[in-house]
Structure 1
């Protein structure tokens, strides 16, 4: 009978992802990941098989957390849920170096078919949740009548990705403040009472 796991796969994968963001995915090894979580490298090999499979599992976990951020928002206004949910999806203490390593993970997401399938699944879910909240905002009178919700959802998604890169380049304020400012700016022309 196998021994019970003292550290959950989720905790291991969270540590692997944090390590990848700190040192870059190319520098993630079983030994480094094992040191992060207090397990042996052999245990991680037994659980995940290969480094690629471990990174893919960490990526899947990250995608699920990313998508779930919109559901964690406690804002009562649908527009505020969009902004707060997308802000909750980023690490509040991210550094430009972590952003660069996150982009290295994105390279895997864009070039490896298995990683891409997960990223695409997450991006579609994010866009759908944003559109759902924008539809609610339209129904609640927060958005101008006739607002093209599908187009606005795509624009908000694009701003989400671009705001992180812009912040890493300009390094003005915090990532959270910068992203919130960008979301409010893109939504402003569509809000009711805004000229």
Structure 2
């Protein structure tokens, strides 16, 4: 099969991301990408210059995708607590199964190493928290900063699911988020364990 004469950078970077997510960041080489994209290694070197630059641009493309997906969900889902849960469940579907999630942690390591990519993550956190906050604006019992709390709960749910991936990730995340929202938006007297407020001491049964 003849090699394509040209291919948009977006398609090349998409192929690079697939290599990274499938086999890890170190698997991204010009030779491997040439095989995956159909372009010659020489053409790829001419376009991207170095392996580090190729990886950097691929990781920025991944953040572009995530930013765009988050914005789309924020624009289309209802501004209600149910909409907040639906947003995070939808984002969870992108993690795939346990093997894909584990490989994704290697990609996250690359983000942590680069200050520019870390800044992309911090900006996404702020945007996601704001989108979640907006979905609790009409909930008087919702605490201030619930968006970031919920995003943190979501990431924790993903981590704990990874240790016991007995069900699909979206089911695990949705269950955890529903219990979290119920606990944080319940009246103060109902937030105690079991949802029951203690009886006055004079009415408690003596031992």
Structure 2 unaligned residues grouped into runs of 5+: 191-207
Distance in 1 of aligned mates of 2:122 and 2:42: 32
Distance in 2 of aligned mates of 1:163 and 1:14: 28
Question: How many corresponding residue pairs?
Answer: 184
For each residue in 1:115-150, what CA deviation from the matched residue of structure 2 results, as whole angstroms up to 9, or x when unmatched?
A: 212222222222222222332xxx2xxx3x242231
2:20 maps to which residue?
Answer: 20
The Cα RMSD (Å) is 2.6
Distance in 2 of aligned mates of 1:85 and 1:113: 27
Structure 1 unaligned residues grouped into runs of 5+: none
Structure 1 residues 34-183: aligned runs within 5 Å: 34-73=34-73, 74-92=76-94, 94-135=96-137, 139=138, 143=139, 145-150=140-145, 152-183=146-177
Distance in 2 of aligned mates of 1:34 and 1:75: 39
> Residues 182 and 9 of structure 1: is their aligned pair in 2 closer, same or farther, counting only changes over 3 Å?
farther
> Residues 76 and 124 of structure 1: is their aligned pair in 2 closer, same or farther, counting only changes over 3 Å?
closer
Taking structure 2 as the reference length, what is the TM-score of the superposition? Answer: 0.76
Distance in 1 of aligned mates of 2:149 and 2:179: 12
Taking structure 1 as the reference length, what is the TM-score of the superposition? Answer: 0.80
Distance in 1 of aligned mates of 2:54 and 2:102: 20
> Residues 170 and 33 of structure 1: is their aligned pair in 2 closer, same or farther, counting only changes over 3 Å?
same
1:102 CA drift (Å): 1.0
The structure with more radius of gyration: 2
